[in-house]
Amino acid sequence: MADLAEGFAPDAFGSDAGDADAMLDTLHDPSAWPMFTVPLASGFAIVVHVNSGEEFTTTDYFLTHSDWSQDLVLASDDQDRIGPGLCWPELATLREAPPGAAGVTDSHARLLLLLPVLGDAAVPEEAVTAVAEALAAQGAPEASEALARHLLQGHPMWGAADWSFDDDEQSWLCEGDHSPRKIPLGDHLPPQQRTALEACFAPR
C-alpha cells in the first residue's frame, strides 16, 4: 500500500509518522517475511507474501489452492514486475470472505490488502466510495476521497490497464504489458477446478 500512496503523508491514513515507520520496519525486517492469507470460496486463497532482503523488500500475491503443486502469481513488485492481476469487478467480489473462513476476513481489510494487485483503467465511482469507506474503517480521516482516487490509479510498477470479459472463457483478460492475466485465469486447471475458480471471482 505504501508504494501506491506516494505524495500522501501517514496522517492521511490516520497514522502518525512514528507508527508508520514502525510498521514499515516490521514489514521490512529480513527475519520476519510476513504473510497474509485472504481466503476465497472452494478452498482457494490469495496469499500476500512480503519478502525482505538486505537491499530491498518485494511483495508477491499468489493465488493458491491446497490441491495445487504450484501457485499462480497474480502480481509481484520485484524486478520482473508482474501485474496487474485483478480488475475492479473481481476485487469488488473478493471483498467478502466465505462463511467460516480463516485468515483476513474483514471486508475493508481485504479490499485494502489486495488493492495493489488492481490495475483497472475503468474503475467506476462505486470503487472510490468503497475504498474511501475502507480507509475510514481502518482509521483514515473521513475526507479520504482524494486518497481513494489516487490509490485506484494502480501500482506505479504497472499502473492501470484495459480489461475485457471473454464470454467463451468466462474470464477477464488484461491488456497490460506486464499482466499475467493476458490469458484466462486458471486455463491450465482441470475443468472442475476451473469452474470453481471462476465462481470465486464471479459477482455474487
pLDDT digits (tens, 9 = 90+) for 77-92: 988 899 999 999 999 9
Given a contact cutoff of 8 angstroms between Cβ atoms, the answer to whether 173 and 166 are in contact is: yes
HSE (side-chain half, CA atoms, 13 Å) at 109: 10
- Check pLDDT > 60 for residue 68: yes
Which residue in the block uniquely carries the three cell numbers 502469481? 73
CA angle 12–146–136, rounded 5-degree value = 50
The domain locations on the chain are 2-201
Indicate the pLDDT class of residue 146, thresholds 50, 70 and 90: confident
- Check pLDDT > 60 for residue 173: yes
CA angle 69–46–34, rounded 5-degree value = 95
- Calpha distance 106→180 (Å, rounded): 27
CA dihedral 28, 149, 87, 77 (to 10 degrees): -20
- Calpha distance 17→20 (Å, rounded): 5
Given a contact cutoff of 8 angstroms between Cβ atoms, the answer to whether 115 and 151 are in contact is: yes
Which of these ranges, 43-57, 69-83, 96-110, has the smallest mean pLDDT?
43-57
Share of the chain above pLDDT 90, in %: 57
Higher pLDDT, 80 or 121: 121
- Residue 125: how many CB atoms within 10 A of its CB? 8
Alpha-helix runs per DSSP H in 101-177:
107-114, 125-137, 145-151
Q: What is the mean pLDDT of the chain?
A: 86
Indicate the pLDDT class of residue 19, thresholds 50, 70 and 90: low
Share of the chain above pLDDT 70, in %: 81
Indicate the pLDDT class of residue 53, thresholds 50, 70 and 90: low
Indicate the pLDDT class of residue 2, thresholds 50, 70 and 90: low
Indicate the pLDDT class of residue 183, thresholds 50, 70 and 90: very high
106-120 average pLDDT score: 96
pTM of the model: 0.87
175-200 average pLDDT score: 92
